[in-house]
Amino acid sequence: MTSADQASERVLYQPAAGGESLSYGQILCDFDGGEHPYFPVVRPPDTPALLRALIPALVLGKPLTLFDGDFSEEACRQLGGTPDLFAASEPCLFPVLADLNTFLAALRAANGFTLTLFTSGSTGLPKRVTHTRQTLLRTVRTGSSHSADVWALAFNPTHMAGVQVILQALLNGNPLVDVFRAPQAVIARALERCGITHISATPSFFRLLLPLETPVRGVRSVTLGGEASDGGLHARLRAAFPGARLRNLYASTEAGTVLRAEGEGFVIPAALRDRVRIEGHHLLLHRSLLATFSGGSVEAGEWYDTGDRVEFIDGAGSVFRIVARERPWINVGGDKVDPAEVEAALCAHPAVAAARVYGKANSVLGNLLAAEIVRADGGAAFDELALRRDLAARLQPYKIPRFFAVVPQLSLGRTGKRA
Amino acid sequence: MNTDLIDTLQSLRIAKGLPAAGGISADTRLRQDLALDSLDLAELTVRLEARFGVDVFADGLVHTVGEVQSRLDGK
């Protein structure tokens, strides 16, 4: 079998539930030395469409902007997502990439690629964040020890964490098995059937997946990130995946993945000692690690305070864990919500005079949103379902409060400043 | 089956724009049969905990209405 044949058969993407897959060969078809359209701004309806936009941008070293498929039409319009914006640029010359090795070499060598994503912002609209190839690939590991990896894609592919899993798989020619939003039973079956070796997901993902009927030994690596995890979950993960290394990641939208830890304790690696530091129990990142923001939310200055508080768990002051986030974010199953965005959406409703949004803890997703509302006419009754439907047209599902209380005036807010 | 539990499940469906489900029994599956997603399950556990003082998902996920009822009954 020639290497070109191998590439054509190697799976790049397959849905956990079965259905149409995409091979590396199907992607390589376009790299034939001819001119093809290239789409600099996309709102991919599914992951194969995302891969078909991402790969040319990477190889050609071009910028790519990803709109979240979850965005409401209104949010898209406000972010400038008009039909013209999603049009193809002038045709580009695609180089000849005849086999998988040439393709992988081209991916690893390409320069000039930037990726713009959107993240929750305090202005009420998602913020635009632009990552360079360097910040995106900083934690991607390549090499022969990774050539047989099979990755579960458990994150939203248009979010930073999803993009990082995609890049890790792509740069090693690995298959991606799409388990994002798949039902528990489908994911459980896919683990063995698709030979998944690596899963990176939120603690909420695993809480919804476990327990499995039988332990799955083929999984070699389990990575947790995006929200706080607990010892109980770690024990259940060890039982479900006895052959896996368990790791925690510290990642942020601003910087991507920064730190990895075996277990709970993080250590600043030697290579990052001049760019990550702890000051007054706050984790600070050097600006060279950060993406570029449109909203100007990252203040100018050498060091950026992540707002994450750390606590040393060894006597020497080198091993630490993240104890609290001092940002206003509410973490709903790994999706971070800025309550100010939801409060603004609530206040846009004619019946609502004021609103306060907060997290209600639960064992399934960590938090769910709840809201206190002051009615515009001072009344006590309101149509909760109608309000939720109204919000659904403007906000992603996890940003819609599930619990409402009508109050005469708002109680003290998260910061203690709002009366 | 506890009528408060059935009512809570039906209100979750109605909030999603789905019709009330007919013939909910112990074997009815929360996700497949009632079309509840993870946000709905999180809402379910908060509502049941407020009503019964039991976190039905505390020890891992349950799949059927009967399993939820068993947790509420402390079995």
Residue A318 lies in a domain: no
For residue B51, give Cα distances in angstroms to A219, B44, B56.
Answer: 39, 11, 12
C-alpha angle with apex A50: A47 to A51, nearest 5 degrees? 90
Mutate to test the interface with B, among A364, A389, A399 (most CBs of B within 10 A): A364
> Of B38, B39, B33, nearest to B64 (Cα)?
B33
Identify whether residues A146 and A293 lie together within a single domain. yes
Instruction: Report the pLDDT value the prediction gives residue A334, as an integer from 0 to 100.
Output: 83
* Domain stops at, among A308, A339, A369: A308
Query: Which residue(s) pair with A222 in the sheet?
Result: A199, A246
Enumerate the residues of chain B whose CB falls inside 8 A of the CB of residue A362. 42, 45-46, 49, 55, 57
pLDDT higher than threshold 50 for residue A29 = yes
CB-based contact B60 A360, cutoff 8 Å: no
Residue A313, min C-alpha distance to chain B (Å): 27
pTM here is: 0.79
Enumerate the residues of chain A whose CB falls inside 8 A of the CB of residue B39. 332-333, 365, 368, 397-398, 402
Identify whether residues A298 and A353 lie together within a single domain. no
* Domain stops at, among A273, A308, A343: A308
pLDDT band at A5 (very low <50, low <70, confident <90, very high): low
C-alpha angle with apex A175: A171 to A181, nearest 5 degrees? 110
Residue A40 lies in a domain: yes
Between CA A143 and CA A84 the distance in angstroms is 40
Residue A165 lies in a domain: yes
For residue A206, the chain B residue with the least C-alpha distance is B60
Burial of A260 (0-12, 13-18, 19+ CB in 10 A): middle
Q: Domain of residue A394: give its range.
A: 330-406
Give the number of domains in chain A: 2
Enumerate the residues of chain A whose CB falls inside 8 A of the CB of residue B37. 181, 397
CB-based contact A368 B61, cutoff 8 Å: no
Instruction: Give the number of C-alpha atoms closer than 13 A to the C-alpha of residue A305, restricted to the C-beta side.
Output: 10
For residue A232, the chain B residue with the least C-alpha distance is B59
C-alpha gyration radius of chain B: 11
Overall average pLDDT of the A140-165 stretch? 93
- Mean pLDDT (chain A) is 85
CB-based contact A207 B63, cutoff 8 Å: no
Residue A314 lies in a domain: no
Overall average pLDDT of the A63-87 stretch? 78
* Domain stops at, among A308, A342, A365: A308
Instruction: Report the pLDDT value the prediction gives residue B75, as an integer from 0 to 100.
Output: 65
Look up the CATH number of the domain holding residue B56.
1.10.1200.10
Overall average pLDDT of the A276-291 stretch? 86
Give residue for tokens 């590439």.
Answer: A7
Give the number of domains in chain B: 1
Between CA A149 and CA A158 the distance in angstroms is 22
Q: Domain of residue B59: give its range.
A: 3-72
Enumerate the residues of chain B whose CB falls inside 8 A of the CB of residue A208. 38, 41, 61
pLDDT higher than threshold 80 for residue A157 = yes
Identify whether residues A155 and A300 lie together within a single domain. yes
CB-based contact B15 A207, cutoff 8 Å: no
On whether the CB atoms of residues A194 and A174 are closer than 8 A, the answer is no
Helices (H), A20-128: 24-28, 47-60, 73-78, 100-109
For residue A392, the chain B residue with the least C-alpha distance is B16
For residue B56, the chain A residue with the least C-alpha distance is A363
Identify whether residues A271 and A394 lie together within a single domain. no
Instruction: Report the pLDDT value the prediction gives residue A118, as an integer from 0 to 100.
Output: 82
Please name the member of B17, B31, B43 whose beta carbon is closest to the beta carbon of A183: B31
CB-based contact B55 A236, cutoff 8 Å: no
Look up the CATH number of the domain holding residue A351.
3.30.300.30
CB-based contact B57 A402, cutoff 8 Å: no
DSSP A240-251: H-TTPEEEEEEE
Please name the member of A208, A362, A368 whose beta carbon is closest to the beta carbon of B61: A208
CB-based contact B46 A236, cutoff 8 Å: no
Q: Does B20 touch chain A (CB under 8 A)?
A: no
CB-based contact B39 A398, cutoff 8 Å: yes
Q: Does B18 touch chain A (CB under 8 A)?
A: no
On whether the CB atoms of residues B64 and B30 are closer than 8 A, the answer is yes
What ipTM was estimated for this complex?
0.92
Instruction: Report the pLDDT value the prediction gives residue A237, as an integer from 0 to 100.
Output: 94
Overall average pLDDT of the A189-213 stretch? 92
Identify whether residues A262 and A394 lie together within a single domain. no
pLDDT higher than threshold 80 for residue A393 = yes
Instruction: Report the pLDDT value the prediction gives residue A7, as an integer from 0 to 100.
Output: 61
Identify whether residues A38 and A112 lie together within a single domain. yes
For residue A367, the chain B residue with the least C-alpha distance is B42
pLDDT higher than threshold 50 for residue A280 = yes
Identify whether residues A221 and A258 lie together within a single domain. yes
Between CA B71 and CA B73 the distance in angstroms is 5
Identify whether residues A386 and A295 lie together within a single domain. no
Mutate to test the interface with B, among A362, A387, A390, A400 (most CBs of B within 10 A): A362
Identify whether residues A379 and A303 lie together within a single domain. no
More confident residue, A142 or A80: A142
Residue A319 lies in a domain: no
Overall average pLDDT of the A1-7 stretch? 55
pLDDT higher than threshold 80 for residue A74 = no
Residue A391 lies in a domain: yes
Each residue's pLDDT tens digit, B18-58: 999 988 999 999 999 999 999 999 999 999 999 999 999 88
Total Cβ atoms within 10 A of residue A288? 11
> Which residues, other chains included, contact A107 with Cβ-Cβ below 8 Å and sequence gap of 6+?
A55, A58, A59, A170, A171
- The tokens for A132 are 């360079």
More confident residue, A162 or A260: A162
The A-side interface with B (CB below 8 A) comprises 181, 183-185, 204, 207-211, 236, 332-333, 360, 362-365, 368, 385, 388-389, 397-398, 402-403
Identify whether residues A216 and A362 lie together within a single domain. no
Look up the CATH number of the domain holding residue A153.
3.40.50.12780
CB-based contact A362 B45, cutoff 8 Å: yes
Among A21-35, A159-173, A373-387, the minimum mean pLDDT is found in A373-387
